[in-house]
Copies of this chain bind each other. A is one copy, B any other.
Amino acid sequence: MRRSREEKAETRAKIITTAARAFRRDGIAETSLAKFMPEAGLTHGGFYRHFDSKDQLVAEACEAALDQMISAMEAQASNKEPLEAKEAIVSKYLSPKHRDQPEIGCPLSAIGSELRRCDQATRQIASNGIKRIVSLLADQMKDLSPQAARAQATSTLATMVGGLILSRILDDQKVSSRMLRDTRNSLVEDE
């Protein structure tokens, strides 16, 4: 039975957020429409009233996950001195909590090595996400020149993404936690 415009928009948003979680949890290729649509409270037949293809959903879900990640980082930085803000962002990112919850965490770490093979729209969205996070980090490095800040922000993000991905691969809890600690300590000055 037909739904109101408002309901349709809600359904669409629900599909995107559910898919964004599923993709990060199980990977894009390993997430089938029939598997996650019930999680959104729908049968999978209705999917194509909202999206042209799975690829289109991938792009939008990726965008949503990046927006969510960046908003969280902005919230962590708000009302803080630059140095403190950077430390807060890095520490949250390289935390056991983030490691253990890929489904609600950074998509660059959750599906990083899959994004390379996604279509142009998704690649562009992911690229923009990287640039936005680099800018956000560079904003916390006010003591450097703009170029130096961006360069340092870039390598900081690389260390964050690499550290989180590797910590998730490591099968020994202790070694995994040490990976998080070592990478975090290399990025924050004090402590």
Which residues of chain A have a CB within 8 Å of any CB of chain B?
Answer: 26-27, 29-30, 102, 108-117, 120, 123-124, 126-127, 130-131, 150-152, 154-155, 157-163, 165-166, 168-172, 175, 178-179, 182-183, 185-187
Closest to A167 in B: B158
Closest to A116 in B: B168
Specify which chain B residues have a CB less than 8 angstroms from the CB of A160 in the assembled complex. Answer: 162
Specify which chain B residues have a CB less than 8 angstroms from the CB of A102 in the assembled complex. Answer: 116
In Å, the complex CA distance between A130 and B165 comes to 11
Report yes or no: A27 in contact with B117, Cβ–Cβ below 8 A.
Answer: yes
Specify which chain B residues have a CB less than 8 angstroms from the CB of A112 in the assembled complex. Answer: 112-113, 165-166, 169
A155 touching B186 in the complex, CB below 8 Å, given contacts A27-B114, A117-B26: yes
Minimum Cβ distance to chain B for residue A182 (Å): 4
Number of copies of this kind of chain in the complex: 2
Report yes or no: A182 in contact with B151, Cβ–Cβ below 8 A.
Answer: yes
Specify which chain B residues have a CB less than 8 angstroms from the CB of A116 in the assembled complex. Answer: 102, 165, 168-169
Specify which chain B residues have a CB less than 8 angstroms from the CB of A172 in the assembled complex. Answer: 127
In Å, the complex CA distance between A178 and B123 comes to 17
Report yes or no: B151 in contact with A30, Cβ–Cβ below 8 A.
Answer: no
Report yes or no: B158 in contact with A163, Cβ–Cβ below 8 A.
Answer: yes
In Å, the complex CA distance between A112 and B109 comes to 9
Minimum Cβ distance to chain B for residue A136 (Å): 15
Report yes or no: B124 in contact with A171, Cβ–Cβ below 8 A.
Answer: yes
